[in-house]
Structures are given as structure tokens and as C-alpha cells.
A = this chain, B = another copy of it.
Amino acid sequence: MNLTSAEENYLKGIYSLGVGRNGDISTNELAALLQTKPASVTDMLKKLAKKGMISYVKYQGVSVTTAGKKKALEITRRRKLWEVFLVEKLRLQWDELTELSDELEHVSSPLLMQRLDEYLGYPKFDPFGDPIPNELGEMSDHPRVPLLDLSFEQSGKIIGVNDNSSSFLKYLDKAGIFIGVKVLVLDKVDFDGSMELLIDNKRRQFISKEVASNILVMAY
């Protein structure tokens, strides 16, 4: 079953709101996520249900079907492969990705994606540290802890973020905090939870508790 770009965006939203949750997704939740009106959501839910992508009972909320989950992972895979390309090859910054990958994720060509995957060296994680589904929708995962959880003199490698907001990503770019960078905890302030870091074995950087809780690291 083939989907339009709009349908793909809704499906992706329904899937992502649903991961790690028991109940169904509400119309208002989706409207908020997709920056649209509840009435538009209702219209689209009917279409996606008719196409077998979601289970939808009116007034009762919505969840993806097996077919819908497969499709959502396919779209996610396309998006993330493009994101790796944009960062690794074209050197775009974190906060410049969203707008572009929102478009590129809909360019649907198995051959293109297979070649891009190969060209990128079969990456397992996107530039935000999230796993990239393979052709079958399977994902690797590795232990990620908030930077805040690192203790004094412990070090780790930055592998992702919890917050994809433009303001946060801009801050990180400016602070020189990127994927793959090594950090060592020079100081932890009990009073406010802030930290001082040694970045890349050379530069010192203070960060607040809030920032530290939104950066994910792989501890050494």
C-alpha cells in the first residue's frame, strides 16, 4: 500500500508517540505533534485506517497495525540514513537537519536507500544517537546514559541527545559538543547539579544540570 507524504508524516507520528506506551494515541496529541488541527487529524485517521496502517475506533484513540509499524520503520530508516549523509558527508549541523530530512524521508526508492546505506558504511545509529532500523525494521541498541549520571573523573563518548529542539541543538553546536566527542567529568557541583567537563582532552566547558540530562553518553 502506497502512502502520500502527508499520510507518511501522520503514520510516523502515530508510531513514535506509541513506542513504549500501553494505551492508544489521542487525536489532540497527534494534532499538537503535527502542528495541525484535531479535525484534520480525524480526516487522516480515517484514510490511514482504510489503508490498513492503523487501528482506529472513533473516540477511542489510535495505534499502528503490524503493517503500519513496518511502514513507519521504513520511513524512519530513510530519514535517518539521509541524516547520516547530511552530517557525515555534507557536514551539516544538528539543527540544520530536521527541515531537510522531513522532506527527504519521503523520497521512496529501495535502490537509492540500499546504495546510500552502502555508501555510508551501513551506519547503525543516526547523528542523534538513535538506532537506524535495517530493511527488516530491526534495530541495534547500545547502553546510553545521561551525561548527568557520569561521576567525578569518569569519562564517556557522546552518542546522542534527548531533546531535538532547535535551541538545544544550536547551543550544543556552539559549545562544541558533537557526536563522537570524548568528555571527562572535571567537577560535579552538588548544589545545582551543574558540571565542568574536559572536552576532547583539551577544552573545559561548564554545563547546567538541564543540559547534562539531555546529552547521552556511552560510559567507558
Distance A96 CA – B115 CA, assembled complex (angstroms): 12
Q: Return chain B residues, CB-CB under 8 Å to A111.
A: 92, 96
Contact B115 A92 (CB under 8 A): yes
Q: In the complex, what's the smallest C-beta–C-beta distance from A90 to chain B, in angstroms? A: 4
In the complex, the chain B residue whose C-beta lies closest to that of A108 is: B103
Q: In the complex, what's the smallest C-beta–C-beta distance from A94 to chain B, in angstroms? A: 14
Total identical chains: 2
Judged by a CB distance under 8 angstroms, whether A107 is at the interface is yes
Q: Return chain B residues, CB-CB under 8 Å to A119.
A: 89-90
Q: Return chain B residues, CB-CB under 8 Å to A104.
A: 107
Judged by a CB distance under 8 angstroms, whether A21 is at the interface is no
Judged by a CB distance under 8 angstroms, whether A174 is at the interface is no
Q: Return chain B residues, CB-CB under 8 Å to A107.
A: 100, 103-104
Judged by a CB distance under 8 angstroms, whether A109 is at the interface is yes
In the complex, the chain B residue whose C-beta lies closest to that of A118 is: B90
Contact B92 A99 (CB under 8 A): no
In the complex, the chain B residue whose C-beta lies closest to that of A86 is: B112
Contact A91 B112 (CB under 8 A): no
Q: In the complex, what's the smallest C-beta–C-beta distance from A155 to chain B, in angstroms? A: 32
Distance A116 CA – B85 CA, assembled complex (angstroms): 11
In the complex, the chain B residue whose C-beta lies closest to that of A111 is: B96
With A90-B116, A100-B112 already in contact, 6 other A-B pairs whose C-beta atoms are closer than 8 Å? A90-B119, A92-B112, A99-B109, A100-B107, A100-B109, A103-B107
Q: Return chain B residues, CB-CB under 8 Å to A86.
A: 112
- Pick the 7 closest A-B CB pairs, nearest first: A90-B115, A103-B107, A90-B119, A100-B109, A100-B112, A89-B119, A90-B116
A14-45 interface (Cβ within 8 A of B): none
